């Protein structure tokens, strides 16, 4: 990294030398423009980027001087006393963009920056570096124009290929980690800000990936990694302003509905976002050069805010990515972000506060709590929460956000509740072995030593669990050999399946839920029947009803998760079942049997394992039945006959943390 810093310093010195030579020749912006108009109105059709002609270099000097003169704080503008008339320079660029400036800019981008192969000579590389340095400065001219939006629209009108060409150039320079990548991100961000919208640039980012074969998702992930590494290099720091602009551009096109989302997840994007958060928040040396509550903290705060928002819309499609977020240290980052909470509170209410970090963290905690139906997420969260409690971080939390504190307490209480259910499930001796003929799957309560049984997960599909290697071998011979490859293939397209141990735990949650909320369930059934016993329904009879439990919400253990549906509407119109034809058929079969036994169907949805199931992100995990009417004798079906926290298999208290054997 030190060698890279030295090489970058040498490149910057070379660019400065080129600019000084140009300023001696074009000491005023009008001289530069008049030379372009009279001598070089249009670029040549052929060019050797390794040996650029004098014409190409002369025009580059003129444009580079214009770019410097349009930047008020640029040393060259101050030295030549052109920094006082930057608005006039901007108007000069605007009026001459179509006639001579625009064609040359597009020529430099297409022939140099987007060339299939780079220059093979030092002179060619120096010219390329100047081009990369000069163009983003020139793109800032609309911000200085009297009518900025009109200037941007004229720019896009006179140069129709500008959005896709400039976007591809930025992606290329980010990929190469060129020292100008931050300037390009800021320039394109400025054009989007002053333009009529960012949709055209979002489309350009997607086209760069799908049409021009730029690996946009991987480039973004790799750059996040590089910036995190810079924080650990003594001679370098994170370019927060460049990161702020760059992340806004990439995050706008990498979301769950984008074709770039799955590649982003596969390349470890969620892990890198969390790494960036912990690097900036938890590592004190990263921001030691910025005083507390200083205005210089604005860019780091913006980077954190963008990262959290991007993380929030990226990680909530799979328990695997939720586990990555917790393992990466997000919970600790929430409680160590006091510096940013204090900075937010120092911003006046009428100031540009943007998205509050504390509020975004609260949203993420609520999302994590939805995945407590998966033991792997539940146990990781409890372990992280234990560290928070042991270190006393809740008492030192310096945020005025009551919502963040309230959401944390709700999440912690819910997790403890889920852990209690999990412990009681184990104490009941419920087998979690995926082999249907396992000797442990017998009626009656097994002995207490069943709790110490170690479970194994299939090393290929990572989905089915077994209590012993013998059960694993027998299961492989009988049915899992054919099932395993399908599970692996589905996982590659982020269409994973809940592990067997997940399904067992989720069914226990359903059983517990129905026992706890039986009055609310039957009250909802009664209300639905009363609303549908008049008029049309009085003639043909009440439709078949189904109790739907929505566990895809943060309060999934409350009565709010209950909804009563007409079975036909659920099977044919509910988007949550759109991708599950086999489950729809199975639900219909179970309902036919339930009808004969005078029982009512219960269908439960949990968050899906992966993002390949569509927008609704729900998995129909459980199909059960309950009696059509509630009587005291029916309560045995869903009795809550668990041992207390001090009974059972020798566990000593509900706050004790136990790791899932097959995490």
Which is it for the CA torsion 340, 343, 345, 349, positive or negative? Answer: negative
113 found inside a domain = yes
Residue 422 reports pLDDT greater than 80:
yes
**Confidence at residue 57, expressed as pLDDT on a 0 to 100 scale:** 93
**Confidence at residue 582, expressed as pLDDT on a 0 to 100 scale:** 83
509 found inside a domain = yes
Q: Say whether 360 sits in a helix, a strand or coil.
A: helix
pLDDT digits (tens, 9 = 90+) for 639-652: 444 443 333 333 33
Domain that holds residue 29: 1-162
Give the mean pLDDT of 117-124.
92
- Mean pLDDT rounded to a whole number for the chain: 83
**Confidence at residue 633, expressed as pLDDT on a 0 to 100 scale:** 52
Higher pLDDT, 152 or 479: 152
235 falls in which pLDDT band (50, 70, 90)?
A: low
| 632 φ, ψ (degrees, to nearest 5) | -65, -30
Q: Which long-range contacts (CB under 8 A, 24 or more apart) does 220-226 make?
A: 220/174, 220/250, 220/254, 220/264, 220/269, 221/264, 221/267, 221/268, 221/269, 221/272, 222/175, 223/174, 223/175, 223/177, 223/181, 224/269, 224/272, 224/273, 224/275, 224/276, 225/272, 225/275, 226/177
**Confidence at residue 123, expressed as pLDDT on a 0 to 100 scale:** 92
Residue 433: exposed, middle, or buried by beta-carbon count in 10 A (0-12, 13-18, 19+)? buried
CA distances from 221 to 206, 269, 548 (A): 16, 5, 39
Instruction: Give the single-character DSSP code of 566.
Output: E
Residue 228 reports pLDDT greater than 70:
yes
Residue 251 reports pLDDT greater than 80:
yes
Give the mean pLDDT of 386-391.
93
Residue 241 reports pLDDT greater than 60:
yes
**Confidence at residue 623, expressed as pLDDT on a 0 to 100 scale:** 86
111 found inside a domain = yes
**Confidence at residue 653, expressed as pLDDT on a 0 to 100 scale:** 33
What is the distance of C-alpha 157 from the center of its chain?
34
In 3D space, the residue among 165, 159, 238, 154 whose CA is nearest the CA of residue 201 turns out to be: 165
How many whole angstroms separate alpha carbon 433 and alpha carbon 503?
11
513 found inside a domain = yes
Domain end call among 162, 178, 193: 162
What is the percent of the chain with per-residue pLDDT over 70, rounded to a whole number? 85
Cβ atoms within 10 Å, residue 471: 24
Give the mean pLDDT of 391-406.
83
Residue 172 reports pLDDT greater than 90:
yes
How many whole angstroms separate alpha carbon 244 and alpha carbon 301?
9
255 found inside a domain = no
Residue 359 reports pLDDT greater than 80:
yes
**Confidence at residue 655, expressed as pLDDT on a 0 to 100 scale:** 32
Q: Which tokens go with 67?
A: 């770019």
Residue 619 reports pLDDT greater than 70:
yes
**Confidence at residue 658, expressed as pLDDT on a 0 to 100 scale:** 32
399 found inside a domain = no
How many whole angstroms separate alpha carbon 149 and alpha carbon 130?
28
Cβ atoms within 10 Å, residue 153: 15
**Confidence at residue 468, expressed as pLDDT on a 0 to 100 scale:** 82
Tell me the pTM.
0.84
pLDDT digits (tens, 9 = 90+) for 445-476: 444 444 545 777 788 877 788 888 888 888 88
Q: Which tokens go with 382?
A: 């409890």
What is the 3-class SS of 252-280, one letter each residue?
HHCCCCCCCHHHHHHCCHHHHHHHHHHHH
Q: Which tokens go with 171?
A: 């992606």
**Confidence at residue 2, expressed as pLDDT on a 0 to 100 scale:** 54
pLDDT digits (tens, 9 = 90+) for 311-351: 998 888 888 889 999 999 999 999 999 888 888 887 766 55
**Confidence at residue 539, expressed as pLDDT on a 0 to 100 scale:** 42
Q: Which tokens go with 641?
A: 């006959």
Domain end call among 162, 181, 208: 162
480 found inside a domain = no
Asked whether the beta carbons of 362 and 420 are under 8 A apart, the reply is no
- Residue pointed to by tokens 């009440």: 542
What is the percent of the chain with per-residue pLDDT over 90, rounded to a whole number? 41
**Confidence at residue 661, expressed as pLDDT on a 0 to 100 scale:** 38
535: left (phi over 0), alpha (psi -120 to 50) or beta: left
Higher pLDDT, 196 or 615: 196
Residue 417 reports pLDDT greater than 60:
yes
Asked whether the beta carbons of 136 and 146 are under 8 A apart, the reply is no
Q: Based on the structure, what is the number of domains in the chain? A: 2
| 12 φ, ψ (degrees, to nearest 5) | -60, -40
Asked whether the beta carbons of 547 and 558 are under 8 A apart, the reply is no
Helices of type H across 442-480: 469-475
| 550 φ, ψ (degrees, to nearest 5) | -95, 100
Give the mean pLDDT of 228-254.
87
pLDDT digits (tens, 9 = 90+) for 57-114: 999 999 998 888 888 778 777 777 766 678 888 889 999 998 899 999 999 999 999 9
Higher pLDDT, 591 or 72: 591
Q: Which tokens go with 460?
A: 């290929």
442 found inside a domain = no
Q: Which long-range contacts (CB under 8 A, 24 or more apart) does 5-12 make?
A: 5/233, 5/235, 5/236, 8/179, 11/129, 11/179, 12/179
**Confidence at residue 154, expressed as pLDDT on a 0 to 100 scale:** 85
């Amino acid at each position: 990294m030190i060698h890279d810093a030295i090489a970058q310093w040498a490149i910057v010195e070379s660019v400065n030398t080129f600019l000084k030579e140009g300023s001696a020749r074009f000491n005023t912006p009008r001289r530069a423009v008049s030379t372009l108009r009279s001598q070089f109105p249009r670029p040549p059709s052929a060019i050797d980027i390794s040996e650029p002609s004098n014409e190409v270099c002369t025009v580059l000097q003129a444009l580079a001087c214009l770019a410097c003169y349009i930047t008020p704080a640029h040393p060259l503008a101050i030295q030549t006393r052109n920094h006082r008339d930057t608005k006039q320079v901007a108007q000069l660029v605007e009026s001459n963009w179509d006639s001579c400036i625009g064609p040359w800019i597009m020529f430099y981008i297409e022939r140099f920056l987007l060339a299939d192969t780079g220059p093979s000579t030092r002179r060619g590389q120096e010219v390329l570096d100047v081009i990369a340095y000069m163009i983003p400065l020139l793109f800032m001219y609309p911000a200085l124009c009297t009518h900025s939006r009109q200037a941007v629209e004229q720019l896009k009108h006179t140069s129709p290929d500008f959005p896709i060409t400039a976007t591809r150039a930025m992606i290329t320079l980010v990929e190469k980690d060129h020292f100008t990548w931050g300037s390009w991100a800021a320039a394109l961000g400025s054009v989007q800000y002053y333009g009529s919208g960012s949709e055209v640039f979002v489309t350009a980012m997607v086209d760069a990936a799908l049409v021009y074969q730029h690996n946009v998702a991987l480039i973004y992930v790799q750059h996040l990694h590089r910036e995190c590494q810079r924080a650990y290099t003594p001679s370098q720091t994170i370019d927060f302003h460049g990161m702020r602009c760059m992340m806004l551009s990439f995050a706008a096109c990498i979301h769950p509905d984008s074709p770039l989302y799955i590649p982003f997840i596969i390349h470890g994007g969620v892990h890198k976002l969390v790494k960036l958060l912990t690097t900036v928040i938890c590592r004190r040396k990263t921001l030691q050069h910025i005083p507390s509550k200083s205005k210089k903290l604005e860019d780091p705060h913006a980077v954190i805010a963008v990262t959290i928002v991007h993380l929030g819309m990226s990680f909530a499609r799979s328990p695997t990515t939720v586990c990555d977020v917790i393992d990466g240290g997000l919970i600790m980052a929430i409680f160590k972000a006091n510096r940013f909470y204090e900075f937010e509170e120092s911003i006046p209410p009428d100031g540009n506060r943007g998205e509050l970090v504390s509020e975004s963290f609260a949203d993420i905690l609520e999302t994590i709590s939805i995945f407590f139906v998966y033991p792997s997420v539940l146990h990781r969260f409890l372990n992280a929460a234990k560290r928070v409690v042991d270190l006393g971080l809740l008492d030192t939390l310096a945020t005025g956000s009551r919502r963040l504190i309230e959401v944390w307490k709700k999440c912690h209480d819910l997790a403890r509740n889920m852990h209690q259910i999990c412990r009681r499930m184990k104490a009941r001796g419920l087998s979690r072995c995926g082999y249907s003929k396992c000797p442990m799957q017998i009626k009656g309560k097994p002995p207490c030593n069943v709790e110490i049984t170690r479970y194994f997960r299939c090393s290929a599909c990572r989905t089915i669990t077994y209590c012993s290697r013998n059960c694993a071998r027998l299961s492989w011979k009988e049915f899992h050999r054919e099932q395993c490859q399908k599970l692996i293939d589905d996982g590659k397209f982020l269409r994973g399946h809940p592990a067997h141990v997940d399904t067992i735990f989720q069914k226990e949650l359903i059983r517990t839920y129905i026992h706890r909320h039986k009055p609310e369930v039957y009250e909802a059934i009664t209300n639905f029947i009363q609303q549908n016993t008049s008029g049309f329904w009085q003639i043909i009879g009440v439709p078949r009803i189904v109790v739907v439990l929505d566990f895809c919400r943060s309060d999934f253990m409350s009565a709010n998760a209950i909804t009563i549906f007409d079975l036909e509407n659920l099977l044919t119109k509910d988007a949550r079942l759109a991708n599950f034809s086999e489950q729809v058929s199975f639900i219909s079969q179970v309902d036919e049997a339930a009808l004969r036994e005078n029982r009512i169907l219960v269908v439960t949805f949990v968050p899906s394992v992966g993002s390949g199931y569509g927008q609704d992100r729900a998995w129909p995990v459980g199909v059960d039945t309950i009696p059509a009417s509630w009587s005291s004798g029916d309560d045995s079906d869903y009795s809550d006959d668990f041992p207390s926290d001090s009974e059972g298999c020798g566990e000593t208290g509900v706050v004790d943390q136990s790791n899932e054997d097959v995490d």
